[in-house]
Amino acid sequence: MAVDIEKIKQGIPNIVPYAGKYVDPPEGDYVEYTGPGQFKVPDKVVIGYIEGDGIGPEVAYAAIRVANAAVEKAYGKSRKVIWYEVVVGEKAEKIFGNRLPDQSINVLKKIRVFLKAPLETPVGGGFRSINVTLRQLFDLYANIRPVKYFPGLPSPLKRPEVVDLVIFRENTEDVYAGIEWPYNSPEASKIRDFLRREFGINIRDDAGIGIKPISKFGTQRIARLALKFAIENKRRVVTVMHKGNIQKYTEGAFKDWAFEVARNEFREHVVFEDELAQYGGQVPPGKVLVNDRIADNMLQQLLTRTGEYDVILAPNLNGDYVSDEAAGLVGGLGVAPGIDVGDWGMMAEPVHGTAPKYRGKNYVNPTATILALELLFRFLGWREAANYIIKGVETAYREGYFTGDLARQMDEEERKHRVKEVLGTQEFADKVVEIIKRL
């Protein structure tokens, strides 16, 4: 069944769609940042949203409907969200001739807190990733991705219930900084010549050049956030994932700098793996274990020794790999949310892409976007609404309601016992809304 996005929008209260120009919403206030990582959230809060490309509008409005139901259930009329559309991506190119126009950037700077549905990123050419640009523009240095198993989800693991991970992925450096030049560019030629002349390093003339910056400052601020999260939320382990055996002065330094923060700033709360012999091989009560794993080993251990891992801290590229693998353990990217956090703003987003072949078909799973708003509410302190979203999604799966992407991962016997009904994107959101109202 095809999706009529305009009809869906008309049925959602509290949204302010773009109507030819940006004006402040008729009601509601913006989140006020009072210091690094400190903010005040008004009871009628304005949260921005970017529709996204491909299937973006379908999952965005499905998630907003669920979020509205959770807020109403949790707070009645005492709190609500005013959803303010900011035009970015394909829609912005049609209106402004630019996928990330200055007008939209200025509005996002005012709002600071927003949902971004998936945006198109070309492979091998074209415009630069808007996702990366937004993270860098607002210095959203931590990409946080929880991965938790919901009963009923398909999984390749024998014991998927042990999957309960939170991945902290550095968001502004590493190869995702986007510092690179094509092999036949004047810049690549100059860099090759410089390396030959100054350091005796010979690089083939047909080689593209990329630079991988990892700084002590960038590493330690996300390490600080991950360790603080682990301690405050009574997590068991923080594992630094890196390829420092080969890339000693970037990824190896990432591990060393993260350990330095743990040792200097959180010493009373942590114990290191090489200290466990002092405690009979056991982590002392009340302590968080800090250890590290080489990236390739980490990827296979997440399959073979899943329950040993808890909070994972990684540079950008490793974090990308491990979070996608982890999502595959609990049903795939369709159920994988993320939030990008900085000292002065935050951006919730699903992990998956734009899936253009499914555009308008009402097929894709909106769970990742729904759970991205759950994360946003949780970071804003609206935990009651966040809890209703989690309960709504979990109950929907427990009662046998799935979207097609999850049902097709099951064999015939699994479908027979688990699946009560296969729903489309909007119908799944309807079901979660119905469940939230009766919780």
**Residues that constitute the known binding site for NADP(+):** 352-358, 365, 408
Q: How far is CA 59 from the centre of its chain?
A: 15
Annotated binding site for D-threo-isocitrate: 129, 131, 135, 145, 169
- Please classify residue 187 by burial: count the beta carbons closer than 10 Å to its beta carbon, then call 0-12 exposed, 13-18 middle and 19+ buried: exposed
Spell out the residues 6+ positions from residue 319 whose beta carbon is closer than 8 angstroms to its own: 143, 145, 167, 168, 169, 170, 241, 312
Is the CB of residue 119 less than 8 Å from the CB of residue 130?
A: yes
What's the CA gap between 108 and 80, in Å, rounded? Answer: 20
* Nearest one of 263, 241, 261, 267 to 252, comparing CA atoms: 241
Annotated binding site: 129, 131, 135, 145, 169, 320, 352-358, 365, 408
**Going by DSSP bridges, is the β-strand pair 164-170/142-148 parallel, antiparallel, or unpaired?**
antiparallel
DSSP track, 219-240: HHHHHHHHHHHHHHTT-SEEEE
Q: Which residues are catalytic?
A: 176, 243, 296, 320
The continuous run of DSSP H or E covering 197 comes out as helix 186-199
- Which segments of 157-314 are extended strands (E)? 164-170, 180-181, 209-210, 237-242, 270-272, 288-294, 311-314
Is the CB of residue 363 less than 8 Å from the CB of residue 384?
A: no
* Nearest one of 360, 340, 429 to 67, comparing CA atoms: 429
For the stretch 109-123, what's the b/e string if a residue is b when 16 or more beta carbons lie within 10 angstroms of its beta carbon? Answer: eebbbbbbbbbbeee
What's the CA gap between 193 and 209, in Å, rounded? Answer: 12
